[in-house]
Amino acid sequence: MNARKAIILTAAVALFFGVFFLFPVLMVLGEAFKDKGGGFTFAYVIQIFVNPVYLEGLWNALLLGVTSTFAALLIAFPLALLTHRYYFPLKGPLSALILVPLVLPPFVGAVGVKQMLGVKGALNAFLEKLGMMDPAAPVDWLGEGRFWGIVIMNALHLYPILYMNIAASLAHLDPAMEEAAQNLGCSPWRRLRRITMPLTMPGIFAGGAIVFIWSFTELGVPLVFDYSRVAPVQIYDGLKDLESNPFPYALVAVMLIISSAVFLLSKALLGRSKLGTAPRPKGRQSEKRLQGWKGWGLTAVFLGVFLLASLPHMGVILLSVATDWYGTILPEQFTGAHYDEALGHPLVVPSIQNSLLYASGAMLVDLVLGLAIAWVIVRSTIRGRALLDALVMLPLAVPGLVLAFGYLALSQEGRAFSFLVGANGNPALLLVMAYAVRRLPYVVRAAVAGLQQSNVTLEEAALSLGASPLRMMRRIALPLLAANLLAGGILAFAFAMLEVSDSLILAQQAEHFPITKAIYALLNTLGNGYELASALGVWAMVFLGISIVGAVSLAGKRGGLFRM
């Protein structure tokens, strides 16, 4: 690729990024440090740390982030190590299946958890039946343990990110590294601590940073659990009086600074270690085939993790087909009526249409941008490629909440983004852009991995045989990249379908609601709102489960999707 084209492409991408990412983020930061007269002030940010309510919210968010990350690591590391070491029955389908929880919206799952752990929920009904609890004085599990409920939801939702990163680190490990330790007298347990763990640190840090930022800024789950003393919910609640209240800005700025610090720290730790340069394996299979009960035991472990992670969603499925589920272990009677009713509800069908529209729009934007960026990063030699590479990864460090907030402020009458708001307050373009910017890193990573794997000489051969650059792209490069691009695109699409913070904040009128906001609205509806929300949630999950399994089987083995 010649330098001029690369520079033009880079400039175009940088412009897009500047307008739709850096600008809103910096605007939020700016507002947080601007006093009423427009001068610079630290007062609001200091107020966050002085005001006990905000301080508690921030502290709770931090605690949620840290504990959720460790809990996810506790699930992910053993799983990754076991898949790396052993072969067991049904390994192929199971290692795809344990990634599914990532697209089961935790926000929907929380509804199921409430159904099971509520005062009149399944667990209490079960305990009463066993005679272990007095029906007159039931335990309010969620009232007592909301914090841990959120941690568990986050960990069970996000562990696949860590799992994929650690698995990729392990796959890049030369088996001889472990064999050498064994050969020099190291027992298997000590080898894990001295060799395997340190060498997988890049994967742990990369995945851990994403999981931390995600759960630190998670809005949907605390909202459904009515856990209001946490910063993201406080920000959401503060949106109503945004004009008069500068504190949401300050809170958002503090969260942004913490997230970016964690992201940069993990990058710095990774950058200093030379672990990325470890030699690649020489193709020797290091998996050990486990026979008999040991093999099936591992199968059971993997299946168990999946079942545990999808338990909340099973609750949702049950709820969606229950006539009445109150104070009993399982629903007494079943019905398909909620599905019919849901399809007739004014919120449901339009929300599915809206989500499909927004998500496909975002996917298209991501595919075009992702391919262009990956091309510059891998195939050009212009200076600043590394910077571009780092820049497009930044959305991973910026909480969705921050961006949504910036978009909301900028789309007000007379502000820079008001042109994106369609007639009658239609947020379609806003949402497409917001979704696209936040999912761009995944598509770029997928395309970069694909380009790196496909040898540049294959493209050069086509050019030397007389194909024009465009024809070469169409006939050689794109077909070779197809699987990676498809995988990245499907992932971007799936995440956009489930996106919570942008959707909740940017869609204002019922006719423009995407699925997630429609579910949230139904949850707050009296009557059979819960059942209808569940039915809609099930529709969404079935759809997403299919797309993620497709994406993983296309390119998941190569592992590059969630690398930073």
Q: Binding residues for other proteins, per CB under 8 A?
A: 174, 176-177, 179-187, 190, 194-195, 198-199, 201, 273-275, 277-279, 282
Q: Which is nearer to other proteins, 192 or 317 (CB)?
A: 192
Shortest distance, position 545 Cβ to other proteins, whole Å: 33
Q: Which is nearer to other proteins, 201 or 382 (CB)?
A: 201
Shortest distance, position 176 Cβ to other proteins, whole Å: 4
8 A C-beta contact, residue 211 and residue 162: yes
**Separation between Cα atoms, residue 352 and residue 535, nearest integer Å:** 12
Closest to 536 measured CA to CA, from 506, 512, 511, 516: 516
Shortest distance, position 381 Cβ to other proteins, whole Å: 23
Structure tokens, 540: 């969404």
Q: Which is nearer to other proteins, 178 or 459 (CB)?
A: 178
Q: Which is nearer to other proteins, 277 or 424 (CB)?
A: 277
8 A C-beta contact, residue 355 and residue 514: yes
Q: Which is nearer to other proteins, 186 or 473 (CB)?
A: 186
Can you spell out the DSSP letters for 425-479?
G--HHHHHHHHHHHHHHHHHHHHHHHHHHS-HHHHHHHHHTT--HHHHIIIIIHH
Q: Which is nearer to other proteins, 36 or 274 (CB)?
A: 274
Q: CA–CA distance from 459 to each of 7, 449, 465, 470, 482 (Å)?
A: 20, 16, 10, 11, 15
Shortest distance, position 513 Cβ to other proteins, whole Å: 50
Q: Which residue has the tokens 């069970």?
A: 156
Structure tokens, 66: 């840290």
Shortest distance, position 188 Cβ to other proteins, whole Å: 8
Q: Which is nearer to other proteins, 183 or 464 (CB)?
A: 183
Closest to 563 measured CA to CA, from 147, 267, 261, 245: 267
Shortest distance, position 258 Cβ to other proteins, whole Å: 28
Shortest distance, position 231 Cβ to other proteins, whole Å: 36
8 A C-beta contact, residue 207 and residue 166: yes
Closest to 164 measured CA to CA, from 77, 270, 66: 77
> Helix, strand, or coil here: 34?
strand
Shortest distance, position 90 Cβ to other proteins, whole Å: 18
Shortest distance, position 152 Cβ to other proteins, whole Å: 33
Q: Which is nearer to other proteins, 136 or 184 (CB)?
A: 184
Query: Taking every pair of C-alpha atoms in the chain, what is the biggest distance, in angstroms?
Result: 83
Q: Which is nearer to other proteins, 1 or 275 (CB)?
A: 275
Q: Which is nearer to other proteins, 182 or 412 (CB)?
A: 182
Shortest distance, position 93 Cβ to other proteins, whole Å: 20
**Separation between Cα atoms, residue 528 and residue 342, nearest integer Å:** 10
Q: Which is nearer to other proteins, 178 or 366 (CB)?
A: 178
For the chain, report the end-to-end CA distance as a whole number of angstroms: 25
Shortest distance, position 283 Cβ to other proteins, whole Å: 11
Q: Which residue has the tokens 């262009």?
A: 372
CA atoms within 13 A on the CB side of 209: 27
Q: Which is nearer to other proteins, 180 or 510 (CB)?
A: 180
8 A C-beta contact, residue 500 and residue 219: yes
Shortest distance, position 269 Cβ to other proteins, whole Å: 12
Closest to 159 measured CA to CA, from 220, 78, 91: 78
**Separation between Cα atoms, residue 286 and residue 174, nearest integer Å:** 10
Shortest distance, position 168 Cβ to other proteins, whole Å: 17
Q: Which is nearer to other proteins, 120 or 190 (CB)?
A: 190
Can you spell out the DSSP letters for 506-520?
H--SGGG--HHHHHH
8 A C-beta contact, residue 251 and residue 50: no
Dihedral, 527, 529, 532, 533 alpha carbons, nearest 10: -160
**Separation between Cα atoms, residue 379 and residue 2, nearest integer Å:** 10
User: In sequence order, what E strands does 170-212 have?
Assistant: none
Cα-flanking dihedrals φ and ψ of residue 86, to 5°?
-120, 155
Structure tokens, 247: 């504190």
